[in-house]
């Protein structure tokens, strides 16, 4: 259950995070062994795309069960006017020295708010030590439901590709999202996942979206005006495309670095062609990545049809999911989803998540094995830090593992790819 230091324990870690002792030992519980065996059985009999990296070396399945390398996540945390405190809270709840974080307040937020975020990032001693939190200095204009939303996401991906090189998965979270697991749990479980798995909820069954999204032609004034206004519609409608198939789904994703390099650098013309097409598409952030990934042979076999988010909808569903409250807590905690949305600012359910799921105290980081300070009320235990390559998963990681096993089950995995 625990991943321990090899010969030192927490108290012997010194503050220099360039710790030389990188060996990791773990008594792997039965279920984790079953996850490895399961991945080997399920993934390898299938033909793989030529660029795929699904190989046994990724799983590092050796007789003494040495752990695969821990992954790194690149988190994009986005907010708008009035959301600074929520954005800071999401950062504290998801922070781990291994990962990278990019904070973006859109153009609606004031310069004072942007400065407040930058000052906060500068003030945290740990951020200074690990240098893994970045702030977008000039906010993008983002029109709700317009293509400027996908332009802003691609801008952030391009910044990650330019500034840091060793991340594995990109995760987009808004200020109204929140994690349901510690990063130690997430890094531990994802260390067993093949590094080319893209978690993206998608379908080609457009349903009502065909007439409300695919056929209308919209213009986003945010592409040529510097003030926010709503999109407007052209009188003409267009037919469905015949040179590629449209896919739609959740805008919240966990995508791999190789796939996003393909989207940004585009050595094939598909991502650019589709970007042009989606410029006049309502809610293009619910279709762009989905259509790119499912129309390219190198990536369509890498999709897991799930967005790894817990959401609650009205019946019939409205435009936005329900705000999550205390009555949703139990269902949320047992769902296995790493993240949930959406939450109202400072809702009591967030305090319950902090206390019972994350072991996070007010204004502090979610505790991980890297935090080696004593847990005193007036002091942040993560101000004294140890080796960031050591994680200590909790028993709750089993719930996340159970979801992953379900998603990779042969009944769910291949049949739900790009259908």
pLDDT in the model for residue 35: 62
CB 385 within 8 A of CB 97: yes
* DSSP-derived pairing of the beta strands 303-304 and 309-310: unpaired
65, part of any domain: no
User: What is the end-to-end Cα distance of the chain in Å, rounded?
Assistant: 37
227, part of any domain: no
In what helix (H) or strand (E) does residue 75 lie, and over which residues does it extend? Answer: strand 73-79
180, part of any domain: yes
Give the chain's mean pLDDT. 85
pLDDT in the model for residue 26: 40
226, part of any domain: no
18, part of any domain: no
pLDDT in the model for residue 43: 53
Domain total in the chain:
1
- The pTM of this model reads 0.85
52, part of any domain: no
CATH assignment of the domain containing 253: 3.90.550
pLDDT in the model for residue 318: 76
Axis crossing angle, helix 270-278 with helix 148-163, rounded to the nearest 10: 150
pLDDT in the model for residue 169: 98
User: How many helices (H) and strands (E) are present in the chain, helices listed first?
Assistant: 14, 16
* Ranges in the chain, pLDDT < 70: 1-68, 375-378
32, part of any domain: no
pLDDT in the model for residue 38: 55
pLDDT in the model for residue 328: 95
The range of the structural domain enclosing residue 187 comes to 73-204+247-416
pLDDT in the model for residue 14: 42
Q: What is the 3-state secondary structure (H, E, C) of 282-318?
A: CCHHHCHHHHHHHCCCCCHHHEECCCCEECCCCCCCC
392, part of any domain: yes
pLDDT in the model for residue 381: 81
pLDDT in the model for residue 63: 30
d(CA 170, CA 104): 15
d(CA 105, CA 213): 27
Closest CA to 43 of 350, 407, 387: 407
């Amino acid at each position: 259950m625990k991943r321990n230091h090899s010969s030192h324990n927490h108290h012997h870690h010194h503050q220099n995070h360039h710790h030389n002792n990188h060996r990791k030992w773990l008594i792997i519980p039965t279920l984790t062994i079953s996850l490895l065996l399961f991945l080997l059985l399920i993934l390898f009999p299938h033909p793989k795309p030529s660029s795929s990296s699904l190989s046994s070396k990724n799983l590092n399945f050796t007789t003494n069960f040495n752990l695969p390398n821990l992954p790194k996540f690149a988190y994009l945390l986005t907010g708008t006017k009035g959301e600074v405190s929520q954005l800071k809270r999401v950062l504290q709840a998801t922070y781990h020295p291994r990962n990278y974080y990019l904070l973006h307040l859109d153009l609606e937020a004031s310069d004072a708010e942007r400065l407040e975020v930058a000052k906060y990032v500068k003030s945290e001693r740990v951020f200074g030590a690990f240098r893994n939190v970045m702030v977008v200095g000039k906010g993008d204009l983002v029109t709700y439901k317009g293509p400027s939303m996908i332009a802003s996401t691609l801008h952030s991906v391009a910044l990650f590709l330019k500034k840091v090189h060793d991340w594995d998965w990109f995760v987009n979270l808004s200020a109204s999202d929140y994690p349901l697991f510690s990063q130690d749990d997430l890094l531990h479980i994802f260390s067993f996942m093949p590094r080319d798995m893209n978690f993206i909820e998608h379908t080609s069954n457009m349903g009502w979206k065909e007439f409300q999204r695919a056929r209308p032609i919209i213009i986003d004034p945010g592409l040529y005006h510097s003030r926010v206004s709503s999109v407007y519609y052209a009188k003409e409608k267009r037919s469905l495309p015949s040179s590629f198939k449209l896919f739609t789904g959740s805008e919240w994703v966990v995508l791999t670095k190789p796939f996003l390099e393909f989207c940004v650098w585009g050595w094939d013309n598909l991502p650019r062609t589709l970007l042009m097409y989606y410029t006049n598409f309502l809610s293009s952030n619910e279709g762009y990545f989905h259509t790119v990934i499912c129309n390219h042979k190198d990536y369509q076999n890498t999709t897991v049809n799930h967005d790894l988010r817990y959401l609650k909808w009205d019946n019939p569903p409205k435009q936005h999911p329900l705000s999550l409250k205390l009555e949703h807590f139990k269902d949320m905690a047992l769902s296995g989803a790493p993240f949930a949305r959406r939450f109202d600012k400072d809702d009591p359910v967030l305090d319950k998540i902090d206390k019972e799921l994350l072991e996070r105290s007010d204004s502090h980081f979610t505790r991980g094995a890297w935090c080696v300070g004593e847990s005193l009320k007036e002091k942040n235990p993560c101000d004294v830090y140890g080796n960031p390559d050591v994680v200590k998963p909790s028993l709750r990681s089993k719930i996340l593992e159970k979801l992953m096993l379900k998603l990779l089950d042969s009944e769910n995995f291949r049949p739900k790819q790009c259908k």
